Amino acid sequence: MSKPIVAVVGRPNVGKSTFFNRIVGRRVSIVEDTPGVTRDRIYAEGEWRNIHFGLIDTGGIEPASEEVIPAQMREQAFIAMDTADVILFMVDGKSGVTSDDREVANLLRRTGKPVILVVNKVDTPKLPDDFYDFYELGMGEPMAISSANMLGFGEVLDMIVESFPEGDYGEEDDRIKIAVIGKPNVGKSSIINELTGENRVIVSDIAGTTRDSIDTNVEIDGEKYTLIDTAGIRRKSKVNDNIERYSVIRAVAAVERCDVCLLMIDASEGITEQDKKIAGVAHEAGKGIIVVVNKWDLIEKNTHTMKEFQKEIEKELIFMTYAPSVFISVKDKIRIKNVIALAKAVAERRAMRVPTGQLNALISDAVMMKQPPSDKGKRLKIYYATQVGVKPPLFSFKINSRELMHFSYARYLENKIRASFGFEGTSIKFVFREKGEKEDA
């Protein structure tokens, strides 16, 4: 089941990014910074009242001139319409209602989605004299907050989770859902067309949750799949679009709905910052990931070319070294079938369960081979471990002190589990609990 998504929308300089960073940085967010993921994050996973959701910051796009503001705002609003279950419309309480606020409001009003109007920069309990002017935007009762001082955050988060649609946020079935993600023009649509054209048994096109996204149900070698095409930006804008931001946002909803992500890389360009941002979304979401290097036909090769490129992938995507790579050419139909076979294997590993007895035998051997860390005469003790979840695999460890569990030792245990049980292509998560803590704490 995919999580609901919240998009923070508004004109530049109203405080969207400050709001986003406060949510992420003050542990309302459940996602920690991951080494290797770019700091310019625009997507994070959050939790409030035990409800998990995705949060998108559409801010930070500075217009080149006053004339292009409406076009910029229109593009941001369209992305929010496509992707979000709830839209947080932020305005500036110090500057009052502007014509750009009115234009964004007109666009959002047509979405049919819940829109929460938030008036930022209200830094004192006393409302500004023109506060009630915001009612004219037609978005219901405005909510006063201060992103700088985190005033009113609880009330806004309450309103957000109460506005989520009821029921499941994604259709659950037995199909393996594969999202093809990556920056524009890397061959995402081409590989979908190749897979459905050559191997199609049953196909039905269904409108996806994002604009320009199509879900294709297909049966390949007796296995049912849903292929999610995030084809990127097809509608041309008259302004200098921030393509990186838009392509990452478009990937968010597709990642939330899938089991396995095919991260498409252009072999002729190598690993770019944009690739790393998109990879970070899939990694943080705990999805299965396969790095698909396309346009391999364009590369001049020798006996070491593939090995050298693989080293570059491991260096640039160091936070997801568990992800296998496959080098293909959609144009020349090279290794296309390998991709779907690998996706099936990754989906199976992501759903795999390890028997508790085998897991604890492995942990016992690992502790004997490498002594746990200690501090001031007190040594880490691991009493037992058990797998408590799948998709991604989640392991719970009962220990004597969480402070003694160093990152390096947790990585050591992860490597031992991977070496023994596999889990290629999927992240695995650990939770450490001290004696006396409840299992669901």
Least trusted range by pLDDT, from 196-205, 265-274, 430-439: 196-205
146-197 per-position pLDDT tens digit? 988 888 999 999 999 999 987 654 445 678 999 999 888 888 888 988 888 7
**Residue 285: which residues within 8 A CB-CB, separation 6 or more?**
45, 255, 256
Q: pLDDT-based confidence at 9, cuts 50/70/90?
A: confident
Model pLDDT, residue 72: 54
**Span 327-344, average pLDDT:** 93
390-417 per-position pLDDT tens digit? 999 999 999 999 999 999 999 999 999 9
Model pLDDT, residue 221: 85
Dihedral of CA atoms 182, 17, 47, 352 in degrees, nearest 10, equals 20
Model pLDDT, residue 205: 41
**Quick check: 104 pLDDT over 60?**
yes
Query: Rounded to whole angstroms, how far apart are CA atoms 127 and 93?
Result: 9
First to last CA, the chain: 22
381: number of Cβ within 10 Å: 13
Model pLDDT, residue 267: 95
Query: Are residues 178 and 225 in contact, defined by beta-carbon separation less than 8 angstroms?
Result: yes
Higher pLDDT, 241 or 125: 125
**Quick check: 128 pLDDT over 60?**
yes
Task: Walk across the sheet containing 5-9 and list its strands.
Answer: 43-48, 51-57, 5-9, 86-92, 115-120, 143-144
Q: What is the DSSP letter of 209?
A: S
Q: pLDDT-based confidence at 75, cuts 50/70/90?
A: low
Of 252, 256, 179, 224, whose CA–CA distance to 1 is shortest? 256
Biggest CA pair distance of the chain: 72
